[in-house]
């Protein structure tokens, strides 16, 4: 037998409600986890959720017409009254409640609750219809004054310099601003500002940067209004801020012992010298030229009568040339002929070009000796 369309709709509605119950249970579990994480009561979280949902139901007049709004309000009120009657049947409790709508002039109020409670209100002196009208008039006056105060606050919220802030309000703003900045930076919702000893902020994993030198480290309640205003403005501009202790450094400072080796400000050496050997962790010392032998192992003629042979620029320990005296070659001419060429060869592998330079110098000194 093929089920009718109405039966099929009922089946679909049952499945829909079952899925809706599953979503509701998941939402309730999320609310419990949130309450546990925030260390607050579940009832507080549920109350805020209900208030948010109530605003969605009743405050959004743009999405609902006046008729739809009345029907929804009446549906909720009737359901609440039935809940109170069920409570009376289950626990024997009596109750009544009166609801008026200050935004609807045609509203006569709604009286709900148990039968005994409703009869009590109707027979009460000053109650009944007159009490409902008096209650609605009171609600309308409060509603209009609230709307007026909100409009005044919105119109008064212009530039910050046009409104005067009391010293008490300024101190409260400073406390709140520092507390929020500290907790946002540290990630700890229980972190508290250490006004008299900023070094104790390390317990929260942060440090204070940019505290004005002319303001003592004291609570804002003991500071002047001008000092509190300076603290607040500095925190808003970012000159006074909190920084985490575990933040990585953006750049690595070059030690002062290495920085002179990178060249003078005028660029005397520039890129002509390869200093990668000085910055490496494990420096490998190239073989020095000793006893007239080059890097290839062949004997090299001596040019000097006295003193040691100059070592390669990349040697770990420069030779002592304090007592060096050339016999037949002036020092100035020798260094001028070797200086620029040999320095530029610093970027080559150790020992490259050394043999040809010494042979050339030997031929210049002894023309009879062949290369």
- What are 200-220's pLDDT values in tens digits? 998 989 998 999 988 999 889
Residue 337 has pLDDT above 80, yes or no: no
pLDDT of residue 17: 84
Candidate from 29-38, 113-122, 286-295, 319-328 with smallest mean pLDDT: 286-295
pLDDT of residue 290: 46
pTM: 0.30
pLDDT of residue 369: 53
> Between residues 173 and 291, which one has the greater pLDDT?
173
Whether the CB-CB separation of 318 and 285 falls below 8 Å is answered with no
Candidate from 27-41, 144-158, 179-193, 301-315 with smallest mean pLDDT: 301-315
The whole-angstrom separation of Cα 365 and Cα 52 is 101
Over residues 71-85, the mean pLDDT reads 91
Q: What percent of the chain has pLDDT over 70?
A: 55
Render pLDDT for 313-336 as a digit per residue (tens, 0 to 9): 444 555 555 555 555 445 444 444
Over residues 142-147, the mean pLDDT reads 67
Task: With H, G, I as helix, E, B as strand and everything else as coil, classify residue 295.
Answer: coil
A 10 A CB-CB count for 32 gives 13
**pLDDT category, 21, cuts 50, 70, 90?**
confident
Show me where the domains of the chain are located. 16-60, 66-142, 167-244
pLDDT of residue 59: 62
Over residues 297-326, the mean pLDDT reads 51
Whether the CB-CB separation of 104 and 71 falls below 8 Å is answered with no
Residue 104 has pLDDT above 70, yes or no: yes
> Between residues 145 and 337, which one has the greater pLDDT?
145
Render pLDDT for 163-198 as a digit per residue (tens, 0 to 9): 567 888 898 899 999 999 999 998 888 888 989 999
Over residues 117-139, the mean pLDDT reads 90
pLDDT of residue 70: 83
**Complete DSSP assignment for 115-169:** HHHHHHHHHSTT-HHHHHHHHHHHHHHHHHHHHHHHHHHHHH-S-GGGS---HHH
Residue 253 has pLDDT above 50, yes or no: no
Q: What is the fold of 167-244? A: GTF2I-like repeat (3.90.1460)
Whether the CB-CB separation of 107 and 100 falls below 8 Å is answered with yes
**pLDDT category, 116, cuts 50, 70, 90?**
very high
Residue 52 has pLDDT above 60, yes or no: yes
Q: What percent of the chain has pLDDT over 90?
A: 16
**Which among 234, 247, 242 has a CA at the least distance from the CA of 188?**
242
Over residues 52-69, the mean pLDDT reads 68
The Cα angle at residue 227 between residues 223 and 233, in degrees rounded to 5:
135
pLDDT of residue 2: 42
Over residues 38-48, the mean pLDDT reads 87
Residue 65 has pLDDT above 60, yes or no: yes
pLDDT of residue 91: 93
**Considering the chain, what is the average pLDDT of its residues?**
72
pLDDT of residue 49: 87
The whole-angstrom separation of Cα 217 and Cα 201 is 13
Whether the CB-CB separation of 363 and 371 falls below 8 Å is answered with yes
């Amino acid at each position: 037998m093929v089920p009718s369309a109405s039966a099929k709709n009922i089946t679909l509605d049952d499945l829909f409600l079952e899925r809706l119950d599953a979503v509701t249970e998941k939402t309730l579990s999320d609310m419990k986890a949130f309450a546990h994480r925030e260390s607050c009561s579940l009832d507080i979280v549920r109350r805020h959720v209900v208030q948010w949902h109530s605003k969605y139901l009743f405050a959004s007049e743009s999405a609902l017409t006046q008729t739809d709004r009345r029907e929804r309000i009446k549906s909720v009120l009737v359901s609440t009254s039935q809940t109170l009657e069920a409570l009376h049947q289950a626990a024997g409790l009596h109750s009544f409640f009166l609801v008026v709508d200050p935004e609807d002039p045609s509203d006569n109020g709604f009286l709900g609750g148990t039968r005994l409670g409703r009869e009590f209100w109707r027979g009460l002196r000053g109650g009944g219809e007159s009490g409902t009208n008096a209650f609605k008039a009171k609600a309308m006056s409060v509603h209009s004054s609230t709307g007026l105060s909100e409009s005044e606050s919105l119109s008064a919220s212009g530039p910050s310099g046009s409104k005067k802030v009391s010293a008490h309000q300024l101190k409260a703003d400073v406390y709140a601003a520092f507390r929020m900045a500290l907790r946002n930076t540290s990630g700890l919702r229980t972190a508290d500002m250490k006004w008299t000893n900023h070094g104790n902020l390390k317990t929260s994993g942060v440090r204070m940067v940019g505290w004005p030198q002319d303001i003592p480290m004291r609570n804002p309640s003991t500071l002047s209004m001008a000092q509190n205003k300076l603290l607040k403005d500095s925190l808003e501009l970012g000159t006074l801020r909190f920084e985490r202790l575990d933040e990585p450094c953006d750049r690595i400072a070059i030690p002062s012992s290495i920085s002179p080796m990178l060249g003078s400000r005028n660029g005397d050496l520039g890129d002509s010298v390869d200093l990668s050997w000085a910055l490496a962790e494990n420096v490998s010392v190239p073989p020095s030229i000793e006893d007239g032998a080059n890097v290839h192992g062949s004997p090299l003629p001596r040019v000097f009568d006295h003193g040691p042979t100059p070592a390669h620029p990349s040697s770990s320990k420069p030779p002592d040339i304090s007592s060096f005296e050339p016999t037949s070659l002036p020092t100035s001419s020798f260094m001028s002929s070797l200086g620029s060429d040999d320095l530029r060869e610093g970027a080559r592998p150790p020992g490259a070009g050394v043999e040809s330079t010494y042979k050339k110098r030997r031929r210049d000194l002894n023309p009879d000796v062949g290369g």
